[in-house]
Amino acid sequence: MNSSGNIKNSSIAAIVVAGGLSTRMGALKQLLPYGKHTVIEQIVSVLLQCSVDEVVIVTGHERQAVETKLASWPVQLVFNSNFQNGEMLSSIQRGLDVLNSKIQAAMIVLGDQPQLEATVVQQLIGAYRTGAGNLIIPSFQMRRGHPIVIDRAYWPEILTLDSDKNLRHIITPHADQIHHIVVETNSVLRDMDTPEQYQQELDRLADK
């Protein structure tokens, strides 16, 4: 059972990690065009279709441009001042910092996965709210992907991790508490770090 004590009414916030430098891409990934939107807007649009209670965008590199693009969207914008040195962990920590006490779980969403699918998000939320586990992770062909849902009980451990660590340092020790959601799409695994991977995502979108 999760820590909320009231599973069906558990509040879940999505934390979108969007503060990276996009070094390999050569351009800020979050602002690249994707369908009718930019990458970050596409991610937000998918999350807002789902039953999350709050969407937090953690910005960093080119903060102002991202915030301007999202100004009309109903999301909370938070700046990670340590984005250059803190890796993704510091953005996750920054996002957790701003969540209020009613939030019982955080869904960690990568800011460069515009292929995020609402059906997968809802599967993860449903699993958490029905008490399947406190760490909910999608799995495709026995490989773990994103996004993941983390119960509030684990947040203190995350918040005290050193900057050279990552979420694996939380997940691995609690492997027996993970609930895997088997999905039929490799969208949970795909990265978009290079121009070639970005073009592949555009090609997949065009084929839909």
Predicted pLDDT of residue 2: 43
CB atoms within 10 A of CB 88: 18
Predicted pLDDT of residue 5: 44
Angle between helices 39-48 and 118-129 (to 10 degrees): 40
Rounded distance between C-alpha atoms, residue 143 and residue 125, angstroms: 19
Looking at CATH, the fold of the domain delimited by 9-207 is given as: Spore Coat Polysaccharide Biosynthesis Protein SpsA; Chain A (3.90.550)
Predicted pLDDT of residue 4: 41
Residues whose CB is less than 8 angstroms from the CB of residue 123 and which lie 6 or more positions away in sequence, other chains included = 138, 181, 183
> Is there a contact between 139 and 183 (Cβ–Cβ < 8 Å)?
yes
Rounded distance between C-alpha atoms, residue 62 and residue 4, angstroms: 36
Q: Residue 143 CA to chain centroid, in angstroms?
A: 17
Rounded distance between C-alpha atoms, residue 179 and residue 135, angstroms: 6
Percentages helix, strand, coil for the chain (3-state, rounded to 5) are 40, 25, 40
Q: What is the pTM of this model?
A: 0.93
Domain ranges of the chain: 9-207
CB atoms within 10 A of CB 64: 9
Predicted pLDDT of residue 9: 67
Predicted pLDDT of residue 106: 98
Mean pLDDT by 10 residues, the chain (208 residues): 51 94 86 96 98 96 94 97 84 96 96 96 96 95 96 96 88 93 96 94 94
Phi, psi of 137 (to 5 degrees): -130, 130
